[in-house]
Amino acid sequence: MTTIEQSAARVAIVTGGSGGIGSAVAHALAADGMSVLVHYSGSAERAEKVVASIQEAGGTAVAIPGDVADETAMTALFDTAEERFGGVDVVVNTAGIMLLAPLAEMDLDAFDRMHRVNVRGTFVVSQLAARRLRPGGALVNFSTSITRLQQPTYGAYAASKGAVEAMTLILARELRGRDVTVNAVAPGPTATPLFTEGKSEQLINQIAAASPLERLGTPEDIARAVTFLAGPGGRWVNGQVLFTNGGLA
């Protein structure tokens, strides 16, 4: 029997858990029987709605605020998980921002802000996960299919996610002997506010039609990929980037 099967009450941290994909991931992990810490950095109201929805469905969840790039705040998040639930088994880094501009026109303050969240934030949380995940645990970071699609205006964003992929693949090798998997999910166009903001309906329909499945992904599509990697079926998947995009790239 594997460690993951022996544990009766697994505990998950979802950064960015109040967002479109993050909330779907939190719901899916709770539906799998995990206690979920729903992290948020902006809207407490949205996070509490996610928690209330999970609890109404019979699950266990709490909302915890914090800056993902602040090691003190994230240490407190892991401390809370251990104090309230006994430990941490799954960490999912959905927290991220996307700021778009041609490389020649990208504002450097915007560049720095995005990399602070997407790169430093992922690094801080991954470092804590590497130190504190229990045997049988899983870390799932978030990249993007844009690293393959290479579309104009996405250069700075793709660069931040390329860094996420690099640290994810290397960390998987560094955790040899720990019985902890480390992978990344790379969504394609997904129907969330982060994706649709600033886009016309015509453009959204055009992007949806480009997929062989002729639709946008849903947050639930992405959440199912995460629960696979976090669950018993994904234990032999390690050090990989799972492109979850309906065949677009």
C-alpha to C-alpha distance for 97 and 26, rounded to whole angstroms: 19
- Tokens found for residue 37: 């810490």
104 burial type by CB count under 10 A (0-12 exposed, 13-18 middle, 19+ buried) = exposed
> Do 44 and 63 form a contact (C-beta atoms < 8 A)?
yes
Instruction: For residue 108, give every residue at least 6 positions away whose Cβ sits within 8 Å of its Cβ, in sequence order, or none.
Output: none
Phi/psi zone of residue 214: left (φ > 0), alpha (ψ -120 to 50 degrees), beta? Answer: left
- Strands 60-65 and 35-40: what pairing? parallel
- Active site members: 157
Question: Helix or strand or coil: residue 89?
Answer: strand
Among 68, 93, 64, smallest CA distance to 81 is for: 64
- Tokens found for residue 103: 């490389």
In the DSSP assignment, the letter for residue 233 is G
> Do 153 and 132 form a contact (C-beta atoms < 8 A)?
no
> Do 14 and 226 form a contact (C-beta atoms < 8 A)?
no
- Tokens found for residue 43: 């809207």
C-alpha to C-alpha distance for 104 and 156, rounded to whole angstroms: 10
